[in-house]
Amino acid sequence: MLRSGDAVARAPAPASIPPPSLLAAIAIQTTLVREPLRRRLARARLDAAPRGAGEPVLVLPGMGVGDLSTLTLRRYLRRRGFDARGWRLGRHRPEVPRTLLRALPRLEAFAAESGRAVALVGWSLGGLVARELARLRPDLVRRVITLGTPVVGGFKPTAIAGLFRLQGWDLDEVERLLAEAERTPLRVPVTAIWSRRDGIVAWPACVERATPGAENLEATSCHWGLGLDPDVLVALAERLRDAAG
């Protein structure tokens, strides 16, 4: 079961969030291997999670990966009765404005096909895209759930910030643009799931402080394991069913 991180969310945000060490981040991701065993041990709880009734759920992957990375998550949600689909846009490149132009028609088509608003589940960078889709089209989105998403700071509080700088990225400008976007508040329910053992993204950057009434949940898995964590999977089923009303 995930712990509520709402007390942390109410605390003042740190003035600066240092990025994790890249070497430490790689080491922490090796804990990914425990997730299949954890799911097996949690089978009864996974099978007892709320069932959906065909509610549409669009799952957006993290940076550098595609729908294969979210296959376990989507299969579980489909078994629980949700219409969970991948974004079908290939590998996720770190170009949010361009990605939004490609993802928005996908959201619009899914909402039109299902005849109702879509829940968005975004893992890491996918969570940033999910938030901006909800900001652009709140009429088409009923809930946003982020997994290990840096909701503040952009790429700066990540273990690969140095790699972006080597490629010539202006991370201060990325941070400024994201902060400017936050001036338009999200008008849908938001749940942020994050872990102090993330390793890739500094966990304080994943805490949702900007959206009134947002829910924060603390997991125990590493960044690559968040979408495979049985506690996260159960929490998704609970929130997605709640959102369906």
Residue 212 sits in a domain of what CATH number? 3.40.50.1820
Residue from 200, 202, 234, 216 nearest 31 by CA: 200
Helical ranges in 80-140 per DSSP H: 96-114, 125-136
Kindly report, residue by residue over 148-158, the tens digit of the pLDDT. Answer: 999 999 999 99
Rounded percentage of the chain residues whose pLDDT exceeds 90: 87
Give the range of the structural domain holding residue 166, as residue numbers without chain letter: 3-244
Whether the CB-CB separation of 81 and 111 falls below 8 Å is answered with no
pLDDT exceeds cutoff 80 at 15: no
pLDDT exceeds cutoff 60 at 102: yes
First to last CA, the chain: 22
pLDDT at 243: 55
pLDDT exceeds cutoff 90 at 9: no
pLDDT at 5: 83
pLDDT at 242: 63
Domain count, the chain: 1
pLDDT exceeds cutoff 90 at 26: yes
CA–CA dist 62, 124 (Å, integer) = 5
Compare 240 and 178 and report the one with higher pLDDT: 240
pLDDT at 10: 80
Query: What average pLDDT does the segment 86-101 reach?
Result: 95
pLDDT band at 240; cut points 50, 70, 90 = very high
